[in-house]
Amino acid sequence: MSLLARHLSDALRLTLSGQTTAGGYGLEDVIRSGLRHPDSRVGVYAPDAQSYDTFGELFDPILHDLQPPPGQRAVPPPCIHPAAVVSTRIRVARNLAGHNFPAGLTREQRCAVEDKLAQACLSLAPQFPGRIRKLQSLPGDQLAAMIASQQAFGPDDRFMAAAGIHADWPVGRSVFCSAEGQLSAWINEEDHLRVAVVMPGACAAACHQTMQLVMERLASQLDFCGDPRHGYLTSCPSNVGSGMRVSYRVDTHHDAMQGAPLAALEALEAAGVLQMRGAAGEHAPRSGGLADVGFRQRVGLSETRLLDDIEALLVRP
Ligand code: CIR
């Protein structure tokens, strides 16, 4: 059952159905994806920041359920052998204050957000020189190849599609990639900005150091959307708080994983503590033994806690 179905009673639906945000969004806009896809895990997307307040009676219990129960993650059993960690990935989601979120952007507004963020990414040079590619300017075959290799994103997520997040794709969408390849940014995918740092091996602290440098530089010129109660605000409530997700790409077929580590990893996944995504993204199938392993519940947790928790998953030889 989705969190939407769990928390939207008929009575609450009636109460909230008359409300609109300053941008004119109503409850139907927020719940469209979850209604269309009853197999949603969450089922809501915020079309703007104000949705979190206007529809707080729905978002608050959803956010509550997206936090780990106290103590749940205090001592996760080590279940990943460092030798089996192909790479570490940290990604951070941000939206610009004063703009609707991607589900609520018009074509023109999306292009304005794109321009602003593309400029900001290019200004990371000389420390992080890189290149912006506007998806709408790429030849179809090149774009298809970039999507296939996860260097770009396509309009292929049915949950986001139902929320309106893929409207006008590829207009207003860009990707940034640093020259050395460790840093990338997606503009106007699920959030205005998704920054990712990927480094080889198990190295959450080093990855985070680079991410901090990048985010400090970006924050000095951009106003990111958030508030003291929630932290950073994102399209999907599952990212609210730090907006950060830390994961290891794990070769589950590696010899060092066989036996107790893999059994412990699968038990944590079955218990809903860990999420093992396919190598190509959240809804991608797992193939070839490669899995992207991260904690499922991240809402409201500090960056330090997220880093400590993922490091605690490593089996110390
Ligand atoms: C769902 O409710 O299952 C989808 N809307 C995805 C929820 C996970 N959130 C995300 O990927 N940001």
User: What's the 255 CA to ligand 1 centre distance in angstroms?
Assistant: 33
**Does 296 contact ligand 1 (Cβ within 6 A)?**
no
pLDDT at 75: 61
Handedness of CA 5, 9, 12, 14 (dihedral sign): positive
Q: How many CB atoms lie within 10 A of CB 194?
A: 22
**Does 234 contact ligand 1 (Cβ within 6 A)?**
no
Residue 70 has pLDDT above 80, yes or no: no
Residue 288 has pLDDT above 90, yes or no: no
User: What's the 60 CA to ligand 1 centre distance in angstroms?
Assistant: 16
Q: Which two tokens stand for residue 49?
A: 């920041």
The DSSP call for residue 102 is G
Q: Which atom of ligand 1 is nearest to the CA of 235?
A: 12
- From 236, 242, 297, mutation site for ligand 1 pocket: most ligand atoms within 8 A of C-beta: 236
CA distance 24 to 105: 12
Share of the chain above pLDDT 90, in %: 89
> In the predicted model, what is the mean pLDDT of residues 265-269?
92
The pTM score is: 0.94
Greater pLDDT, 233 or 278: 233
> In the predicted model, what is the mean pLDDT of residues 21-39?
97
Average model confidence (pLDDT) across the chain: 94
Residue 76 has pLDDT above 80, yes or no: no
Residue 283 has pLDDT above 70, yes or no: no
For residue 4, what are the CA distances in angstroms to 28, 209, 311?
12, 36, 32
How sure is the predictor about 50, in pLDDT bands with cuts at 50, 70 and 90?
very high
| Residue nearest atom 7 of ligand 1, based on CA coordinates | 42
How sure is the predictor about 69, in pLDDT bands with cuts at 50, 70 and 90?
confident
> In the predicted model, what is the mean pLDDT of residues 13-19?
96
- From 40, 92, 101, 239, mutation site for ligand 1 pocket: most ligand atoms within 8 A of C-beta: 40
How sure is the predictor about 274, in pLDDT bands with cuts at 50, 70 and 90?
very high
Which has the closest alpha carbon to 122: 112, 113, 130? 130
* List of long-range contacts for 152-156, beta carbons under 8 Å, 24+ apart: 152/186, 153/186, 153/189
**Does 243 contact ligand 1 (Cβ within 6 A)?**
no
